A and B are shown apart, each in its own frame.
Chain A
Amino acid sequence: EPEVTQTPSHQVTQMGQEVILRCVPISNHLYFYWYRQILGQKVEFLVSFYNNEISEKSEIFDDQFSVERPDGSNFTLKIRSTKLEDSAMYFCASGGTEVAEAFFGQGTRLTVV
């Protein structure tokens, strides 16, 4: 069964460092998303991406964040200068049809120290 794949599963980084989280969406999907979940809190929407551009972003997705689809299969989230409060589980999701069902990856746990 097709699935969304995220790497790495866990990343530890020093405050101020740049990190890139990677995702391989389901191959025939067209819409891609990043969400995050701070420990003990709700899953929060960050950004959606369609047709090689950002469709929507939340107020969390500030200038420190960027997304890219560098080739036909990968979708990345970059955090330029990490802060302690960026520590969270980051989920990639993709969707393919007007039914708009979202399929999520297993997440990358980012720990900023």
Chain B
Amino acid sequence: KQEVTQIPAALSVPEGENLVLNCSFTDSAIYNLQWFRQDPGKGLTSLLLIQSSQREQTSGRLNASLDKSSGRSTLYIAASQPGDSATYLCAVRPSWYSGGGADGLTFGKGTHLIIQP
């Protein structure tokens, strides 16, 4: 059974710092990996999607990498801002996904990030 772990569980840093959030998964047979942002009491906003054949994806100040063989992904946030404060979730889709939409995502518990002004 796939297990997704995110480290650290919480992180508080001053504004302007670059930071790295870590995600590991036990079964390397994944179709893709998705990073989300969740604000308190709110829904999940998709940040980045990495297919299993890709090594990284970038969007603005965010960069996500994937090392499928070792079961790890990192989310790099450059020049952090107070508006980046949120919980960041990592989720994986199993490799036997056939394009038929059948397969659910397995989530980590998230990293709660606070950026101090």
Contacts and interface: CB of A to CB of B under 8 A. Distances in A.
A44 B104 CA distance: 9
Contact of B104 (A41, A42, A56, A109): A56
Main secondary structure of the interface of A (DSSP, over half): strand
B65 interface: no
B28 interface: no
A102 interface: yes
Given A42-B109, A43-B89, A101-B34, A106 B43 contact: yes
B99 A100 contact: yes
B108 interface: yes
Interface of B: 31-32, 34, 36, 41-46, 49, 51, 89, 91, 93, 97, 99-110
14 contacts: A4-B43, A42-B110, A43-B89, A43-B105, A44-B107, A45-B104, A55-B102, A56-B104, A58-B104, A101-B46, A102-B105, A104-B44, A105-B43, A106-B43
Given A4-B43, A103-B46, A104-B43, 14 more contacts: A31-B101, A32-B101, A33-B104, A42-B108, A45-B104, A45-B105, A55-B100, A56-B102, A91-B44, A100-B49, A101-B46, A102-B91, A107-B42, A109-B41
